[in-house]
Amino acid sequence: MKILLVNAIDERDVFNAPHLGLGYIAAYARTHGGFTDIVITETNPLEALERVKPDVVGITVVSQNYDIAKAVAKRAKELGAITVVGGVHITLLPFSLDPSMDIGVISEGEATFLEILQVIEKHAYDIQQLKEVRGIVLWNEQRKVVFTGKRELLPEVDSLPYPARDLIDYHEWSSYLFSCSYFYSSFCD
Ligand code: B12
C-alpha cells in the first residue's frame, strides 16, 4: 500500500518548516505496522500525487491553510486515493471535515493512523470497520460526519519511535533553515 503524507503549507509563507507530526506518524506506521512505502512531501503536493499514485493520502494542516488541504484532498480523491486529514485544525473543529476528506484524525495520530491503515489494508474503505477506530471523524452511510469517540492519549510517549527524518527532504528547506539561523543569530550578537 502506497502512502503519501502531505504538509499542506502555503508556499508563499516564509513561516514553514519540516513537519514533525508527519515524521512521527510515518515512523509509527513503519515500526509497528510494517508500512514501508511512505513518501512525505512538503512542497508541490499536486505533482507528488501524480508521481507517487498513492492509495492513501494523509494531510496535515493548520486552519489558515485549510483550503489548500481541501484542494489536495479533492485531487487525491479524483485519482482514487483514500484521504485522511490530521493536525490542529481538524482536532479543534472535527465537524469541518470537508467532503473531499474521508477521515479526520483527532489529536495524537500515531496509533490512530496505524489502525486506519490496517483497516484499509484488510477491508478497503469500510465504514463499519472504520467506526471501530476511536478518535476519528468520518462520513457515515447518510453522508453525515460522525465521531467515533474519544481515544485515550498514549501512556508512554518516550516509547514512540523517533520521527522518520529520513523521509524528509531537507533540501526543500535549506532556505528556511538558513533564514531561521540568521534570525536567531541576530538575537545572540
Ligand atoms: C512548532 C510549531 C511551528 C513550527 C513548525 C511547524 C511544523 N512544520 O511542524 C513553525 C514555526 C514553522 C510553525 C509555523 C506555523 N504555525 Co505553528 N506551531 C508549532 C507548535 C508550537 C508545535 C507543533 C508541533 O510540532 N507539535 C508536535 C507534533 C508531533 O504534533 P502535531 O504536529 O500536532 O502532530 C500530531 C497530531 O496533530 C497528529 N497529526 C498531525 N498531522 C497529521 C496528519 C495526519 C494524516 C494524521 C493521521 C495525524 C496528524 O499526529 C501527530 C502525532 O501525534 C504548535 C502549537 C502546539 N502546541 O501544537 C503551533 C501551531 C500548530 N502553529 C500555528 C500556526 C497558526 C502556524 C502558522 C500558520 C504561523 C504563521 N503565521 O505562519 C505557521 C504555519 C505552518 C504550516 N505548517 O503551515 C497554530 C495553528 C492554529 C490552528 N488553528 O490551526 C498553532 C496551534 C499555535 C497556536 N496555538 O496558535 N509552527
Considering the chain, what percentage of its residues have pLDDT values greater than 70?
90
Please give the grid coordinates belonging to residue 65. Answer: 491553510
* Total domain count, the chain: 1
What totals of helices (H) and strands (E) does the chain contain, helices first? 7, 7
Q: How far is CA 73 from CA 60, 105, 128, 187, in A?
A: 11, 14, 22, 40
- Taking the CA of residue 26 as centre, how many other CA atoms within 13 Å lie in the half-sphere pointing to its CB? 27
Distance 185 CA to ligand 1 centre (A): 24
pLDDT digits (tens, 9 = 90+) for 171-187: 766 556 655 665 555 55
- What residues flank ligand 1, with Cβ below 6 Å? 7, 9, 13, 15-21, 24-25, 58-60, 62-65, 84, 86-89, 92, 105, 108-110, 113
Distance 123 CA to ligand 1 centre (A): 31
Atom from ligand 1 closest to the CA of residue 176: 12
The helix/strand/coil state of 145 is strand
The residue range of the domain holding 9 is 3-188
In this structure, the residue with its CA closest to atom 72 of ligand 1 is: 15
Is 16 a residue whose pLDDT tops 70?
A: yes
The helix/strand/coil state of 155 is coil
pLDDT value of residue 182: 58
Q: What phi, psi does 97 have (nearest 5°)?
A: -55, 125
The CATH number of whichever domain residue 133 belongs to comes to 3.40.50.280
CB of 86 closer than 8 Å to CB of 104: yes
- DSSP β-ladder status, 38-41 and 56-60: unpaired
Distance 149 CA to ligand 1 centre (A): 23
Atom from ligand 1 closest to the CA of residue 63: 84
Give mean pLDDT, residues 92-116: 98
Q: What phi, psi does 87 have (nearest 5°)?
A: 110, -175
Which value, in Å, is the radius of gyration of the alpha carbons in the chain?
A: 17
Is 137 a residue whose pLDDT tops 70?
A: yes
